[in-house]
Structure formats: structure tokens, C-alpha cells
Amino acid sequence: MQNTATPTHCPYCALQCGMNLTPTPDGTVEVSERADFPVNRGALCGKGRTAPAVLARNVRLTSPLVRDADGTLVPASWDEALDRIAAGLRRTRAEHGPDAVGVFGGGGLTNEKAYTLGKFARVVLGTSQIDYNGRFCMSSAAAAGIKAFGLDRGLPFPLEDIPKSGCVILVGSNLAETMPPSLRFFTELKENGGTLIVIDPRRTRTAEQADLHLAPRPGTDLALALGLLHLVIAEGRVDEEYVRERTAGWEDARAAAMAHWPEYVERITGVSVPQLRETVRLFCEPESAMVLTARGPEQQSKGTDTVGAWINLCLATGRPGRPLSGYGCLTGQGNGQGGREHGQKADQLPGYRKLDDPAARAHVAEVWGVDPDSLPGPGRSAYELLDALGTDIRSLLLMASNPVVSAPRAAHVEERIRSLDFLAVCDVVLSETAALADVVLPVTQWAEETGTTTNLEGRVLLRRRAITPPEGVRSDLEIMHELAARLGVEKGFPTDPEEVFEELRRASAGGPADYAGITYRRLAEENGVFWPCPAVEEAVEEGEDALLDAPLPDDPARETPTAHPGTPRLFLDRFATPDGRARFVPVSHRAIAEEPDDEYPVLLTTGRVVAQYQSGAQTRRVAELNAAAPGPFVEIHPRLAARLGAAEGDPVAVVSRRGRAVAPARITNAIRPDTVFMPFHWPGEGRANSLTNPALDPTSRMPEFKACAVRLEAVEREAAGEGSVERETVSSR
């Protein structure tokens, strides 16, 4: 057994923190510091440190499971399980057509797996019905970025630029809990004399670090951004030269912002006019400044417009495409960036190409060796796909996602999943969704396989295999290879991740997310390569060794580079639009899809806690993390708790038009009196997504996770914990 440390990356969030893994005698690995990786410089959060716990055999799946005649999942051979899946998918296609088969992926899949899953859906199954849980992550920011800049990459600059900026406005991100190692960039920002402004309805651990904390009413971030832009205009702080030379559409955006005067915005948001003015002063006075958004403003039914308003603020003040300045989005999931670039999204092909673009279809079809006309068109977005299960979509192949916990209106989604004719799930553990499947396949994990991911900076990384997977477990690439063969496609689905990546390079070449100049060998020698990184024709002709061994452009020994260095900073010369100019998009405030009323007088917002991750399918199996965060809770302001008659720890029912959740009260002044907060990591009685609203953004198709109307009900429980009696219904008015 190899005892040397393997340099690799964490399996969780989009920081993709560097770590070293050393095999242990019990077959798992020990995590140690990897100080050379610039994103985390050795620092890890509790989730990263304990990630090997899920590798243990008593925690994870190690055998395929099939549902027997009694309805019980029982162990089966790989041949039986794969044959059942192939038969189920084949039967659905024969009886109902290819679009009756759905495919649902995950933002934790490597680039190779995400690429292959999109190809499998379109080439083997012939279905348009594919999307992934990353739709619930940053699709609104992606849509707004494409409108404004012509390109979507979470951060158009590396994280290392943040401490050197003069001011950062952080909108709707609690990164102290969601991405703890990243907090040091903001600490260094303040140490360097810069200013941190945090916008969040809660006084989170992140907000406590801020120089200025604004606590708007949930769902009013759009009005807030417009109010700030109004003040920028009224106070003469517009960078007129930048607007004239590098943008288009200013007059319409200006007119829209001028309709949102400060006092009007104060009434909508609850943020005072003096705070608005101070925000503008702090943002505009430094030479450099940034706005970074996260799920708060994005997970709304107007998320694209909301992000667009923050981008307009950046453009009006001359920030994007200038050093240490601009707009960026903090991607959440481990490979949320790469996962959407290479074909998991309903409307996209590899390289971030559009599926309805004839030239894009022709390019990718040539790489795949198929007729462009054989490729299906765009399909449904994630929630719409889940909502169609059991009706238009009769069978589903699901990889690396747990929508029974993570999807909005989760009880309805669970019902739709139960109504399927056939469900196959590939996962590491028996998640709540996998437990409903007809066939469950156990797959390899991050430490047991090699593959690439793309972090929130657009930095493509090599995650290396450190240990051998247990017997009975296979990779997702092997599974798709076997299923493709059973469904009549013998070639085109290799199991070697590097071979897949080589094809991905060709498929992405010339696209917005161009990986053509990136190779495994480069990734093994460098700390990641930023896309776009096109191949240089001379290097392609000379072969890979020439590409890898050639000096980079800053080497004075060679005048003509043979390897593209990658693009850490975008838009310095021009934006990715036909004329090189960024676009202002005029937007106006509108209400959330479901405002409070007499029956549901309180606003619910949801989010994460530091010790759990996403649906909790993996982290809820780690003892250390469960000790830190054992279950759901409802965060309530003392005034609201007093009206309800609830004390700390009392069970409280939160009820929306879609469902009911019960969890202990956590009483705190850190939240607005008109708002309650619930984390969404748990299933069962405390499932926060039983309540959330699937109202969709018209552009991004993002559900409105961050704001819906609820009422609170105090609950008395018998001493034995059996049964409950409602004591009171509370109104916030």
C-alpha cells in the first residue's frame, strides 16, 4: 500500500480547497495541510477535515441494490442491476418516446462525469430532458452575467484579488459558514485598509465581520441595488468616461434607477437612507471596488434582474474589467461551475455552447461522431423536470443529487418521484431519494478516483485518486459505459477519465468555456489553469509534449508562446460581446412571488450551517459534524417569539401554502422581527424545503428559495414525544 501523501482537493464546496491525503491501514485516508494551494493555503473547515469519514464501509454503499417483489431494496449483482436499469429505460422509450426518460445530475460530479452524462442523455437515450441541481445554485447570476458581459464565470478574477481591493459589497452570502477558509481574504481586505459591506437579513457570522451591515427585508435586494444606483447618479459619482467607452444601454438603465429614490427604497427594504448613502460613499470613494453575490439575491423569482441591478451598479461606477474591481458570483457546489459548462444543463452543450445554436450542434456532433440533427433540443429546467415526473417523464436516471431534501416544494417533488414507473440512482450513500429507487448503484468517491473540477474562480483542477475503492463499487464513468453498451452504443463512452477529458477538450474548443489548452499533465504540474484556455495551433501540431514543455508567454527565452497561460482575469481589454462593450440591462423592483398576508404574515428565508453541506446526505453521516449541528431549527426574533409564547428550544411549526415543518426555536436578535430562518440540510419533520416556493425566475428558471410567506404555530409535545397539540397561531402584525 502506498503511504506517500497525494495532493488533491476537498469534495465539498466550490473553493475546492487543497489537501493532502495519506492512506491509513484501515483503508481510508488521513487529511493533512497542503499549504501550496493559493485558495486555502492549508486551511480547512470541519467538513473538509472529516471528509474521509464517508469513505468508511459502514457508512457508504458497497453493493448494488434492487427492489424485490416485496418492495424491499436488496443486494444484487452488478449485471442484474445494470440489466434492470437498461430494461427500464428501454421500456419507457419504446412505450412513451425518448423524452419520457429524464436525467438529473449533480454539481458534485467531476467535469468528466458531467460531460459524459450530458452526452449519454443526448446520444444514447436521445432525450432532451436533462438538467441538474446546479440550476438551484447560481443560474440567476449566470443568466445576468451573460446578458451583461457575454460570458458567465463565477469570479472573473482570482480570490487573491479581494484583499487588494478598496471595498467589497457581499450580497446574500454567509461565507463564514458556507466557505470558512475564504473568510481570510476578507479579513486581509480589512487589514489592508479596505472596507467590507455585508447585505443579509440576518446578522450572520459573516455580517459580524463587516464594517457596515445592511439587513434588508428578504426579497428586496433588487430595490436596494436600484436605490444605490439612484444615489450614485444623484451624487454625480457615475464614471462617465467608462460608461461612454466600455458600455451600452446606459440611458434606459439610468431612467429605471431614477424611479427608485432613497425614501421609496427605504420603505421597501427597511434599510435607512443614511445607510444607503454611507454604502455609496464607501463603495465609490476607493479606486477599486467589487460586488460579490451569492444565493441570497440569486434564489429569487426575480434573481436574474436582481443580479443585473448589482451589475449595473458596478458598470456605472466603472468597476468591471479593471484591476481589483468588478462583479463576481460565489458559486456554491464543488463543481457547480464546471458542471454547467459541459452539458448537464437543459439548454447547453460542452464548452458552454448553446444547444439551439446550429454551429455549436455541428461542432459537438462532429466530436461525438453523430448527426447534428439527431441531437435533441433544449429540455425542461430542474424544477420543471422534477414536476413532470410520473406524467410526461416516466423514468429517471439520477446521479449525485438528493431532491427529496433539496428541491423546493419538496413534499410534492417526493410525491412525483414516487409516481415514476422506474427510478435508478447512482450515489455514494443511501440518500432519501435513493431509498425510493428501483435500482441503486454504489459509486466511487473523490479520494477513490481521478478527475477534474472547476472551482468558483474558473480554475480547472486535478483531483487525484489516493486510495483503491472497495470491492463492489464502480465509477459513474464505468456505469455509463456499461449502460450505453446495453442500450446499443458500443463506442464513445470510455471509462478512463483522462481519455474523457481529452474528448472534452476537443468538444469545448472554440466555445466560451474553452478547455482545449488544458491537459492532465499541465494540471498535475500547476495549481490549476483558468479557462478560457484555448489550444495554440503550433503546440497542437507539435504534440502534447511540446505544449507542456514549452515556456509560458512571460518566458523571455521564447517570443512566441506554445501554451496558453489561461485567463485568471477576464474583460481587461473587452467584454465577451460582439462589440466588446458590456450591456446595461434596465430593471425595476417588483415584489416577491408570495408576499405575507393575514393568513401567512411572516417571511421565511433558508440557508446553511457550517457543519452540514447541501442536503446533508453525506455530512449527516459524520459524527463530529452531527455533534456540532444535530438537527434543524427555526431562528426567531425575541419579539416574534414572545407573541408566539415560545421559549428557546420549544418546538415550533412553520407552515406555508405548500407544507409544514417542525423544529426547535432558536431565539436571537440576529434576525429581523418579520422574518424566520431555517437551514435546509435535514429530511423528515424539519425539512425546510417542504415550505419553499417553486415560483421560477422567467430567465434562469431559478426557484424562489429565499423568500416565502409562512405562519408560526407553537406546538406542545407529550413527555414521551408522541403526538402534538397546536397551542396558538401567531401573526406578525
651-665 residue pLDDT tens: 999 999 999 999 999
Set of cell numbers at residue 271: 434599510
Distance CA 265, CA 224 (A): 6
Q: Which residue has the cell 432613497?
A: 262
What DSSP letter does each residue of 24-87 carry, written as one string?
Answer: -TTSSEEEE--TT-TTTTT---HHHHTGGGGGSTTTS--S-EEE-TTS-EEE--HHHHHHHHHH
Of 643, 690, 687, 632, whose CA–CA distance to 665 is shortest?
A: 632
Q: Which pLDDT belongs to residue 562?
A: 67
Query: What is the bridge-based pairing of β-strands 660-667 and 634-636?
Result: parallel
pLDDT given for residue 24 in this prediction: 87
Q: Would you put residue 512 in left (φ > 0), alpha (ψ -120 to 50) or beta? A: alpha
Alpha-carbon span 528 to 464, nearest angstrom: 13
For the chain, give the longest Cα–Cα distance: 79
Write the CA distances from 148 to 140, 183, 258, 311, integer angstroms: 12, 28, 20, 8
HSE value, Cβ hemisphere, 13 Å, CA-based, for 491: 4
Cα dihedral 143, 129, 458, 20 sign: positive
Q: Supply the pLDDT for residue 148.
A: 98
- Distance CA(675)–CA(196), nearest Å, equals 24
- Spatial separation of the C-alpha atoms in residues 172 and 153, rounded to whole Å: 18
Whole-number pLDDT of residue 43: 96
Interatomic CA distance for residues 13 and 178, integer angstroms: 8
pLDDT tens for each residue of 309-341: 999 999 999 999 999 999 999 988 889 999 889
Beta strands in 294-334 (DSSP E): 326-329
The pLDDT value recorded for residue 549 is 35
Average pLDDT over residues 57-80: 96
Give the model confidence (pLDDT) of 519-559 as tens digits.
Answer: 999 999 999 999 999 998 643 333 333 333 333 334 333 33
Question: How many C-beta atoms surround the C-beta of residue 59 within 10 A?
Answer: 14
Query: By three-state DSSP, how is residue 451 classified?
Result: strand
Least confident range of 54-58, 92-96, 165-169, 682-686:
54-58
Instruction: Give me the mean pLDDT over the 234-242 stretch.
Output: 98
Alpha carbon 539 to chain centroid distance?
A: 34
Q: Which helix (H) or strand (E) holds 175?
A: helix 175-178
**191: exposed, middle or buried (C-beta count within 10 Å: 0-12, 13-18, 19+)?**
exposed
pLDDT average, residue stretch 200-204: 97
Q: What gap in Å lies between CA 390 and CA 400, rounded to an integer?
A: 20
As a whole number of angstroms, the distance between CA 453 and CA 14 comes to 9
For 531-589, what is the HEC assignment?
CCCCCCHHHHHHCHHHHHHCCCCCCCCCCCCCCCCCCCCCCCCCCCCCCCCEECCCCCC
Q: Which amino acid is at 379?
A: G
Q: Three-state SS string across 245-282, please?
A: HHEECHHHHHHHHHCCCHHHHHHHHCCCHHHHHHHHHH
Cα–Cα distance for residue pair 34/43, rounded to 1 Å: 8
**Mean pLDDT, all residues of the chain:** 93
Helices 303-316 and 221-234, packing angle to 10 deg: 20
Q: What is the pTM of this model?
A: 0.93
Backbone angles phi and psi of 597, in degrees to 5? -145, -170
Asked if the model's pLDDT at residue 347 lies above 80, the reply is yes
Residues constituting the chain: 733
- Segment 383-408 mean pLDDT: 98
d(Cα 656, Cα 593) in Å, to the nearest integer? Answer: 13
C-alpha cell recorded at residue 409: 416544494
pLDDT number for residue 27: 74
Beta bridge partners of 712: 654, 730
For residue 22, pLDDT over 90 is answered with yes
Pairwise CA distance, residues 349 & 510, whole Å: 12
pLDDT value, residue 1: 45
> What cell does 592 get?
416577491
Among residues 668, 680, 675, the alpha carbon closest in space to that of 595 is found at 675
C-alpha cell at 138: 447560481
Q: How many CB atoms lie within 10 A of CB 668?
A: 15
Q: How far is residue 504's CA from residue 239's CA, in Å, rounded to a whole number?
A: 41
Domains of the chain, start order: 6-55 (2.20.25.90), 65-134+335-505 (3.40.50.740), 139-329 (3.40.228.10), 509-573 (no CATH), 602-730 (2.40.40.20)
What is the average per-residue pLDDT within 574-591? 98
Query: In this predicted model, what pLDDT tens digit does every residue of 133-158 receive, in sequence order?
Result: 999 988 999 999 999 999 999 999 99
Which of 709, 701, 707 has its CA nearest to residue 136? 701
N-term to C-term CA, the chain: 66
pLDDT of 2 reads: 52
The answer, yes or no, to whether residue 720 has pLDDT greater than 70, is: no
List the one residue out of 687, 668, 708 whose CA is nearest residue 207: 668
CA–CA distance, 454 with 114 (Å, rounded to integer): 12
Cα radius of gyration rounded to whole Å, the chain: 25
Which amino acid is located at 559 in the chain? E
Per-residue pLDDT tens over the stretch 600-642: 999 999 999 999 999 999 999 999 999 999 999 999 999 999 9
What's the helix, strand, coil split of the chain in %, to 5? 35, 20, 45
Chain centroid offset of residue 598 CA: 34
Bond before 532 cis per omega within 30 degrees? yes
Phi, psi for 567 (deg, rounded to 5)? -130, 85
Q: Summarize the confidence of residues 724-728 as an average pLDDT.
A: 44
User: What would the pLDDT profile of 635-648 be if each residue is shown by its tens digit?
Assistant: 999 999 999 999 99
Rounded CA separation 680/439 (Å): 26
